[in-house]
Structure 1
């Protein structure tokens, strides 16, 4: 797999599909503890007719590196890769933390983002006092238990347990420093007051059973956006894994619309 050196990290990425396609590239950004293969279904579908780019964020998957402490720093990594690949304008698709990265890029460089898709993502993490205390206490348990608890609750009830266990193992392979630091970065992320500045046509796809980032928080964000479309699927937080075909179909309709 090709890699790009960026500020002490080696970012692994895929750049597939026809370079001469008339549409701008689709750029897929995964979430916390995940990797670029979250998007396998979407890549297989879209790469037949348009350019698609995805990466493992630093410290995730096959990328090396650590040290980032904010979502903005991850956004700079993504932009460095897109500059390297000469992708001047693109459609951004981000899941969870990847959606936070997408919003950061859209705010900083609106001229480069043709459209944006936020999958299971929000503009501000909000906790009740009880849930905030629970989340704080969860960081004190052994690392693997912390990861297992967070991944387990990311899926809707009834999802196959063997698949959940496989994803827990994959997530736990992400270095502890990366996982815990970016956990804090997500909790600190807050662009809700600036959401009205994002005029980019945006699709927000959310799982009805998402307890990680509840639907009501996404809807509050959607109200602030000047140009947002909302789609709710019968799933939890891990939409790319729980409903890959449905998510691909929703994305396809949105990105195929004429401006």
Structure 2
């Protein structure tokens, strides 16, 4: 469990696999931690370098996040300390927002990019907006539980959903609510045309947190994007981890116009 001091926060990370080639950097989402990527770490580490971290305030990292840009700065600084130049960010949900920020701020460092159940602008329809406004009035653990339960697609074992909800509720309240506000404020939809790197947009068909329609809205503006839709909800990395690993494998070897 290596740790590094970055920007006043102690970040916990894993750095595994071969040291040649361009590493994959896995970035988790809201209220989650680096273990959302357990399947991908086991799948890719025998063949290439793989790095994942607990974002500040999440999992086994401390510190208080404020904005998506600050979280992206943490990732960039951590990679600097690990002497990583070019990399492939794989970001889930809020992690995808962080990945897009990295691609816009440091395009020379991004070999390719994978966005899993992520979007470029948070948009709430009236019903979703009312639900989210109401849920913030609930006790904290209920607020987190309601949002995590909605994140999983139909048929996913309820007992496992409850375990993920309990784990998410251990994230400090201030971290959860601050990141929630940071995601609501995130908006780079008008800039995605600047992202020239080959990008895989991987999304769960049953995602009601960040619906497929919102992902497709941004997809049309990406200059070099491939879209794959999978039978899952918002928590695609754990609902269908094999599909994520398979899609990333394909993208790294055959998808898009570049080479990683």
Partner in structure 1 of residue 238 of structure 2: 241
Partner in structure 2 of residue 38 of structure 1: 36
Partner in structure 1 of residue 155 of structure 2: 158
- Write the distance in 2 (CA, Å) between the matches of 1:25 and 1:247: 17
Q: Aligned-pair distance for 1:127?
A: 1.1
Partner in structure 1 of residue 58 of structure 2: 60
Partner in structure 1 of residue 16 of structure 2: 16
Q: Aligned-pair distance for 1:8?
A: 2.2
Q: 88, 92, 98: which one pairs with 2:89?
A: 92
- Write the distance in 2 (CA, Å) between the matches of 1:131 and 1:165: 22
Partner in structure 2 of residue 51 of structure 1: 49
| TM-score using structure 1 length | 0.97
Q: Aligned-pair distance for 1:133?
A: 2.5
Q: Aligned-pair distance for 1:129?
A: 2.7
Partner in structure 1 of residue 216 of structure 2: 219
Unaligned segments of structure 2, at least 5 residues: none
Q: Aligned-pair distance for 1:46?
A: 0.6
* 1:135-174 correspondence runs (5 A): 135-174=132-171
- Write the distance in 2 (CA, Å) between the matches of 1:170 and 1:123: 27
Partner in structure 1 of residue 78 of structure 2: 81
What is the SS of the residue equivalent to 1:4?
A: strand
| TM-score using structure 2 length | 0.97
- Write the distance in 2 (CA, Å) between the matches of 1:51 and 1:133: 43
**2:17 is the counterpart of 1:26:** no
- Write the distance in 2 (CA, Å) between the matches of 1:225 and 1:98: 18
CA RMSD, aligned part only? Answer: 0.9
- Write the distance in 2 (CA, Å) between the matches of 1:48 and 1:27: 15
- Write the distance in 2 (CA, Å) between the matches of 1:232 and 1:160: 21
Q: 105, 128, 133: which one pairs with 2:102?
A: 105
- Write the distance in 2 (CA, Å) between the matches of 1:73 and 1:5: 15
- Write the distance in 2 (CA, Å) between the matches of 1:168 and 1:207: 19
Partner in structure 2 of residue 4 of structure 1: 4
Unaligned segments of structure 1, at least 5 residues: none
